[in-house]
Structure 1
């Protein structure tokens, strides 16, 4: 049984913060993905994203209680219609960010993180393309393990 979480294997909060910054730099340089930020973004976007990943990947509850819950995150991404090309480019930027931060050096870790990000991008965050009003209240941040999506905790 795996005892080390993805959070631990990725370098904890420091490692995931580095990854969030690297991903944000990559997406802002991509003319298609950067469109998602055309309305602007918070100056602490990378820190908030890292806190979300910390919690989703087995670390402490760094996002919930400080910034919001899954409902608030999904509502931010809802109502934008379907955007498969942008999603695939965001995933490619994530894979490049894994390389930028040295996390791609461990193929098992890189694969698990890629699978998480691809799932979150194409499933969890894309689940409500029509309207943010469709997102139910009280959603918990999904937990991702070495084996994939974990049932609710």
Structure 2
């Protein structure tokens, strides 16, 4: 990749694109019988804003989650004790993918592989961290996701 390669954050439409996507996602979650109980049937505006801020930072945007919301430790605390099941994790990832389509995010395979790769990684970590594991990493930086092996094609 070159220095001119945009971040995933920029490629996805910056904060506005991630807000559109994640609000579409949480609308789907609120109507889902498996996931809505995790949020007591309603995903608050504050939760939505915080998750958008997290995703923006992870995907190469401003470090606002770290600077303003408590970073990795805060996100970890929000998942502790939830006991997320494998079935809930899979539904979460599936609805994220559906919401990306519904919200009109870029549909090139490189972008989708990047965001869904993070979704797979992050949700599997969330399952581990939400249960009774004794080997949870308590302190870490917010991850900074990259394009991996498939940066966006730019002719």
* TM band (smaller chain): 0.7 to 0.9
Supply the distance in 1 between the matched residues of 2:41 and 2:18 (Cα, whole angstroms): 25
Match of 2:14 among 12, 15, 19: 12
Supply the distance in 1 between the matched residues of 2:148 and 2:10 (Cα, whole angstroms): 15
* 5+ residue gaps, structure 1: 149-153
- Does structure 2 conserve the Cα–Cα contact (< 8 Å) formed by 1:80 and 1:131? no
- Does structure 1 conserve the Cα–Cα contact (< 8 Å) formed by 2:30 and 2:41? no
* 5+ residue gaps, structure 2: 150-155
Supply the distance in 1 between the matched residues of 2:15 and 2:108 (Cα, whole angstroms): 18
SS at match of 1:22: helix
TM-score (norm 1): 0.85
User: In the alignment, is residue 69 of structure 1 matched against residue 106 of structure 2?
Assistant: no
CA-atom RMSD in angstroms: 2.3
Query: 1:142 maps to what in 2?
Result: 143
TM-score (norm 2): 0.84
Query: 1:127 maps to what in 2?
Result: 128
Query: 2:153 maps to what in 1?
Result: none
Which protein has the larger Cα radius of gyration, Structure 1 or Structure 2? Answer: 2
Supply the distance in 2 between the matched residues of 1:30 and 1:113 (Cα, whole angstroms): 22
Q: How many residues align?
A: 146
